Amino acid sequence: GNQGWWNRTGTTLSPVTAGDTITSSGNISTSGSGSITSASTLTASGSGGLILSSGETLTNATNNVFTFSTNAGATADILQIQPNVSGVLSFAGTVTSADLTANRTYTLPDESGTVCLQNSASCGFALGTTTLQSAYDATSGNTITATDGRDLAFTFPDTTTDPSFTVNLQCVTSCSTSGVFAVQSAGTNVFRVDPNGNTNLGIGGIASTIQIGNTTGAVTQTINFGNNSTASSTTNINIGSSIAGTTAITGATTITNRTSGSVDTLIVNNGTSAGTILKLQDNGSDVLSVADGGNLLATKHSSFGGAAAIDSCPNLSPCEAITGAQETFTDLSSTNKVGNYTHITLDPAADNTRSNAAGMFISQIKTGNTKNFSGFYPIVGTYSGALQSGDGNVSAAIGIISQVQNSGSGTISNGIGVQSTIGGSGSFTNATAFSAAMSFGSAAVATSYGVSVNAASGSALTNNYGIYVAPQSVGTTGNYGIAIGTASGGTTSQTLWIGNDADGTTANAGLAFGQTVGTQANLYRGANNQLKTDSQFLAQTTTNSTSAFSVNNSAGLNLLKVDNSSSNPSNLVTNPSFETNTTGWVARTGCTLARVTTTAYAGTASGQCINTATANAGMNFPVSLTSSTAYNLVVYARADTTSGNFSTLQIGRADDGSTDTQCLTAQTVSSTGWTRYVCSFTTGTTSGSPYIYIKQTDATARTVYVDAVVLQTQANADSNNYRDGKISFGTNSITSPLTLQNVENSTGAFQVNNAVGAQVFNINTTDQNFVQNSSLEVKTTNWAAKGSATIARSTTQQIDGSASLLVTTTAAANDGAQYTLPNAVAVGQQVTLSGYVRLNATAFGAGTLVGGYVNGGGDTTCVLAPAVSATVPSATGWTRFTCTMTVATTNATAVFLKQTDAVARSFYVDAVQLENGATATTYGLGRISTSGEFITPQSFRNQADSTTAFQIVNAANTTSLFNVDTLNSGITTNSTASTLTAFAMNANSITSGTALSLSATATTTGNDLLISPGAGVTSGSAIKVSASGTSAISAGLVQIAHSGAYTSTGGLLNVTGNATVSGTVV
C-alpha cells in the first residue's frame, strides 16, 4: 500500500515527519525486539488492527498516551489508558485476563471515577473481611436510604442454633434522649426503647392506633407484661397519661395474677382527689363505678326496672338498698318474683343495735309460685362475707344467710337453702362444691364449726337428715361419700365425734349401716363406754396381714392382735375348712356332701357326709402327690349325736388315683366332740389323679362331719395343728378349740393367776434337752439312718405326742438311728442320754442295743440301763433306757441308738433326751405347775404302757421317789433318808377291818410281801405297822390269810433276818 517516509533506526521504525501516517490495508508488524514509534497518532483502520507480537513495545514518546479509537462515527466511544507518570521509578501496569475460551466483553459503567481493585485500601476497601462495622466506620457509612420499591429484609434461617437479632443499648449516663432505639414517623418517635428498659408506644403527640395481638380464627394469643422471675421485682404498666387526656380499653380483657405467692392482681389508682377511680359499663352505660374516696355506686340495668345506689354508712343511716316493687329478673320466668334486701358495710359512729349483718338476703317468693327456687344461688365469682375490723362487738357475723319459707297454701317441691353446682366440659384440678375455711390467728375463740347444722323442727317430717350425701360412683380411682382429715392438737381431739350432746347408750346415738331403717347393722356406745352392736360383727380384710386386727390399751400396749396371714404353710388342701363352699371335695359313693354351719371345729362351717349303708362312703380331695415323698395328714372329724360313736374311720390316699392306701384305720369317732387324727405316709409311684380320702369301712348309715384338713410334705410341715392365723392377746375368753404356740419358749408361756396375782397354773415350755426334735411330732429333722437301716416318722406307736421314729435294720451290725446335734457337746462334758424304745419285730439279744455319741474318732458307745435282753425292750409297751458318758478327744456332734448284732429287726424310738450331768431327768417338752386343788375325780391314763407311766421325783429331778410301771404293772417307792421309815402307814381310826391287806390269788412262787432292808439300814424299821389309842382292833393290826388251796412255796409271810413282834401274834 501507500506509505509516507519513515526512518528506521536500528530496530525502530518511526515517521520522518510528525503526523505522517502509514496506511495499509494489510498488517504492519515488527519482529524480534523491534518497535513502532509514532510522534502523533498511530491508526489502524479498516478491518485490520494494530498487532504487537510477543515481546514488542508500542511507545508514545510524547506523553505516553495511547488512544484506541475507531472511525465508526462521531458517537463512537473512545477507550484511553493513561498511566501515572509522576512517580520516580517506572513500572509496568499489566492488564491481562485468564486464558479465554470464548469472546468476552468487559463493560465499564457510564461514570467517572476510580476503578477499585480487590484488597485496595486506597479507594475504601478494607483489607481482609468486610463487616458492617467497617462499612459504618467509612465515610457516610451510618445511613441506609432505601429507594422506591426496594424493601430491606433480614432473613434468619432455621438452623441447628438459630441466629438472633439483638440491639444492645449500653448508655449509662444522659440517656433520656440519647442511646435509644426508636421507630419514627417523619422524624418523630412513635416507638422508643430507652437503655433503662422503659418502652414507649404512641408518643410524640401523633394520632395513632397501637395494636398488640390480632387473632383470626379459633386461636388464643397471650400477651405477658412483666414476667418477673424474682419475688422482689416490680413491673409498672402505665396506660395513658398521668397528666391529662383519656385512655380507653376496648374488647374483652382478662388480667391474670401470678400462679404462686400473695400479691394484688389489679390496682387501679386514680392519683388525684377528684374523678372516678373505676367505671364498669354495659353498652356504654355505667353499671358499677368506684368514686373518688372509695364510694361504690351500682346502677341497675334499665331493663331490670331502674337503679339502686349502694353507699357506705358513715353515720349509721339506713345501710340498705331496696329494689322497690317486686322486680322481675330476665333470667327467671315471669312468675318468679324475688326481693333483694342487702346490707353492704357497717361502720357506725355509735353502738349499732342491729344484731345481724347479711351480705344478701332473699326474703320471700310470691305466693302461688310453682317453680323450684333456691335461697341463694350465686354465679361464679360471687363472694359474700362478713368482716369485722373495728373494736366494737358483733353478736352474730354470718357470711351468707339463706332462708327458704313457705307461708302460703302452695307446695314447694324442692326447698334448697344453699345449692352449689360445679361442672362444664373444661378440666378442674380440684373441684369443691362447698368449702369452709377458718383462720383465727391468736384470737380467742370458744367454739368453731366448719359446718353447723341446727336441729330441724316440725311435726310432719317423714325422714329428717342433718346431712345427706348421695351415693358416689363416678370416680375412676375411688368414691368417698365423706372424707375427713385427721384431727390433731388438744387433749381430747377426735376426727369424728358422734353424740357430743349427750352420753347416749342406745342405737339412736350411734352409727347405722344398711338401707332398711331399724334392721340394719349398727355400732354405738354402751353404758360403760363399751363399743356395742345389736347385730353380728365381722372384720374381714381384703388382703391377709400380720396385724389384721389389733386392740391396744391407752399406753399403746397391744392387748389383742389377729394375724390372718399365718395359716398352715403349703397346705395342699386348698379348701380345708369348708368356710364358703365344698369346692374341691368329691363325694364318694354313698355320701351326700354338703357344707353346714351347725357344727365346726375351725371357723363357722364344716363338711357333712350323710352316708347310706355303704362301705367306703366318704369324701375325697384331689391333690398333686409326688412319688417317694413323705407327707403328714391331719384331719378333724366327729359324728352327729344320732349316729353315735363308731370305730370304722379310715383316712389315707390313692397314689394312682384309684387304689386306696390307708395310713390310719379302725379309728374311733366321737359324737360329742371333735377328734384330731394324724398320720404320716410316704408315697410310692404316683400316676393318674391322686387324692386323699376320709371314709368309713363298714356299711352303716350315719352322718359324719370333717373339718380343718391339712396335708403337707414333711419337708414343708411346721405343725400338726390346723390354723387359719395367729392371735396374740391379753385377757380374753376363748370358747373354740385352741392351740397355743409361742414364738419363743419361756418359763411362763401360759399362766393362770388368782385375783391377788398368785400363780395357780403355769406352763413352762423351756427345757435343757439338746435333742430339739425329740419326739418326731412334725418331721424327722436332724434324724438319719445309721448303717444300712431305714428310718421313718410313724404315728402307729408313741409314748409322747402323736408320733415316733420307726427304725428298720438289716442283718448288719451297727444299724440304727442317729441324731445330729445343732450344737456340739464339748470335750470333757458329762452328759446323759435317755430315750424310750418299743420293739416292733424281732427281739434284741442281751446287750445288743447300745447308745453313744459320734465325734471325729467315730462312735463311742455306752451301756444302756436297764439291761437289754430278750424281753427288754418289750413289744407291748415302752421302756426308758439311759446311759451316762463323758465326751473325749473331740467334740461330740451326734448321738445314736444302734444294734451290735447282725439281725434284721424294727423298733420305735420316742422322747429322746440328752442333758448335762449324770442323771436322766423325767422327760417332757415343758413343765406344768399348779398351786390349786383338784376337786373333781382324776384319772391318769397314758396312751401307751411304759416303765415310767407316773412318777414323783425330787426337786432336783434326780431321784424317782414313786414310780408306776404300767408295762410290768408295778409300783416302786424309793427313800434316800437314813432315819425315816421307807413306807409308813398309820391306821389310827380303824376299829374294824384291815389297815393293809395283800391278796395274791395267782402267786405260786415268790412272795406276796417281801421286806428286804438294804445294807445301809442301821436304825429304824424296814416296815413298821403300829396302832395308837385304846381301841382294840378285833381283826388284828396285821392279818395274813389265804383262801382256797394254798400252794405257794414262799410262805404267806417270809421274813429274812430277825423279826421283833410286840404284842400277841394270832
Residues 681-737: pLDDT tens digits? 999 999 999 999 999 999 999 999 999 999 999 988 876 777 777 777 665 556 566
Torsion angle, alpha carbons of 639, 643, 646, 649, to 10: -50
C-alpha to C-alpha distances, 492 to 485, 594, 623, nearest whole angstrom: 16, 53, 57
Residue 323 is predicted with a pLDDT of 34
**515 neighbors 463 (Cβ within 8 angstroms):** no
Helical H segments across 835-904, by residue range: none
pLDDT band at residue 984, thresholds of 50, 70 and 90?
A: low
Boundaries of every domain in the chain: 1-85, 537-566+727-741, 568-628+647-670+691-724, 783-925, 981-1066
Residue 574 is predicted with a pLDDT of 94
Helical H segments across 253-333, by residue range: none
Rg (CA), the chain: 61
Bigger pLDDT: 426 vs 734: 426
Residue 433: name the closest of 385, 386, 380 by CA.
380
pLDDT at 104 over 50: yes
Q: Could you read off the pLDDT of 393-408 as tens digits, one per residue?
A: 655 566 666 667 777 7
C-alpha to C-alpha distances, 818 to 320, 399, 828, nearest whole angstrom: 104, 88, 21
Residue 835 is predicted with a pLDDT of 95
Residue 593 is predicted with a pLDDT of 98
Residue 470 to residue 677: CA distance in whole angstroms = 55
The sheet with strand 892-899 has its strands ordered as 783-786, 816-825, 892-899, 849-855, 858-862
**768 neighbors 825 (Cβ within 8 angstroms):** no
Residue 448: name the closest of 397, 499, 483 by CA.
397
pLDDT at 448 over 90: no
Q: Could you read off the pLDDT of 240-290 as tens digits, one per residue?
A: 665 666 666 666 666 776 666 666 767 777 777 777 878 887 777 777 777
Bigger pLDDT: 256 vs 511: 511
Torsion angle, alpha carbons of 679, 684, 685, 689, to 10: -20
Average pLDDT over residues 863-871: 95
Residue 651 to residue 653: CA distance in whole angstroms = 7
Mean pLDDT across the chain? 74
Percent of the chain residues topping a pLDDT of 70: 61
Residue 238 is predicted with a pLDDT of 67
Q: Could you read off the pLDDT of 177-226 as tens digits, one per residue?
A: 678 888 888 778 888 888 877 777 766 666 666 676 666 666 777 777 66
Q: Could you read off the pLDDT of 827-840 as tens digits, one per residue?
A: 999 999 999 999 99
Bigger pLDDT: 360 vs 385: 385
pLDDT at 488 over 70: yes
Highest mean pLDDT among 166-180, 248-262, 454-468, 806-820: 806-820
Task: Tally Cβ neighbours within 10 Å of residue 959.
Answer: 13
Residue 2 is predicted with a pLDDT of 44
Amino acid at 837: V
C-alpha to C-alpha distances, 288 to 280, 301, 376, 668, nearest whole angstrom: 5, 10, 22, 99
Residue 840 is predicted with a pLDDT of 95
Bigger pLDDT: 356 vs 913: 913
Residue 15 to residue 12: CA distance in whole angstroms = 10
**737 neighbors 718 (Cβ within 8 angstroms):** no
Question: Do the strands 759-764 and 858-862 form a parallel or antiparallel pair, or are they unpaired?
Answer: unpaired
Residue 550 is predicted with a pLDDT of 77
Residue 851 to residue 900: CA distance in whole angstroms = 10
Residues in CB range of 715: below 8 A, 6 or more apart: 630, 779
Residue 360 to residue 250: CA distance in whole angstroms = 32
**787 neighbors 809 (Cβ within 8 angstroms):** yes
pLDDT band at residue 845, thresholds of 50, 70 and 90?
A: very high
Q: Distance from first CA to last CA of the chain, Å, rounded?
A: 209
Residue 518: name the closest of 463, 443, 582 by CA.
463
pLDDT band at residue 65, thresholds of 50, 70 and 90?
A: low
Average pLDDT over residues 586-590: 97
Average pLDDT over residues 103-129: 71
Residue 790: name the closest of 820, 812, 764, 760 by CA.
812
Q: What angle do CA 675, 721, 626 make, to 5 degrees?
A: 105
Highest mean pLDDT among 93-97, 823-827, 1029-1033: 823-827
**705 neighbors 694 (Cβ within 8 angstroms):** no
Bigger pLDDT: 477 vs 130: 477
pLDDT band at residue 809, thresholds of 50, 70 and 90?
A: very high
pLDDT band at residue 354, thresholds of 50, 70 and 90?
A: very low
Bigger pLDDT: 440 vs 396: 440
Average pLDDT over residues 441-462: 78
Same fold, 568-628+647-670+691-724 and 783-925: yes
| Burial status of residue 110 (CB atoms within 10 A of its CB: 0-12, 13-18, 19 or more) | exposed
Q: What is the CATH number of domain 568-628+647-670+691-724?
A: 2.60.120
Residue 674 is predicted with a pLDDT of 79
pLDDT band at residue 312, thresholds of 50, 70 and 90?
A: very low
**223 neighbors 212 (Cβ within 8 angstroms):** yes
Rounded to 5 degrees, φ, ψ at 4 are -85, -170
pLDDT at 103 over 90: no
pLDDT at 350 over 70: no
Residue 546 to residue 725: CA distance in whole angstroms = 9
Beta bridge partners of 571: none
pLDDT band at residue 623, thresholds of 50, 70 and 90?
A: very high
Residue 312: name the closest of 346, 287, 289, 360 by CA.
346
Could you tell me the three cell numbers for 64? 505516553
Residue 315 is predicted with a pLDDT of 33
Percent of the chain residues topping a pLDDT of 90: 23
Which 8-state DSSP code applies to residue 730?
S
Query: What is the phi-psi region of residue 906: left when phi exceeds 0, alpha when psi lies from -120 to 50, beta otherwise?
Result: beta
pLDDT band at residue 1012, thresholds of 50, 70 and 90?
A: low
Residue 399 to residue 418: CA distance in whole angstroms = 13
Average pLDDT over residues 564-590: 90
pLDDT at 607 over 90: yes
Residue 1022 is predicted with a pLDDT of 58
Could you tell me the three cell numbers for 96? 491481562
pLDDT band at residue 338, thresholds of 50, 70 and 90?
A: very low
Bigger pLDDT: 848 vs 556: 848
C-alpha to C-alpha distances, 144 to 126, 140, 164, nearest whole angstrom: 19, 9, 21
Residue 439 is predicted with a pLDDT of 75
Residue 594 is predicted with a pLDDT of 97
Residue 472 is predicted with a pLDDT of 86
pLDDT band at residue 364, thresholds of 50, 70 and 90?
A: very low
CATH 3.40.50.2300 at 783-925, yes or no: no
Bigger pLDDT: 469 vs 869: 869
Average pLDDT over residues 840-844: 95
Q: What angle do CA 168, 172, 178 make, to 5 degrees?
A: 75
Could you tell me the three cell numbers for 116? 477499585
Residue 860: name the closest of 830, 823, 902 by CA.
830
Bigger pLDDT: 356 vs 943: 943
Residue 891 to residue 827: CA distance in whole angstroms = 5
Whole-structure pTM value = 0.41
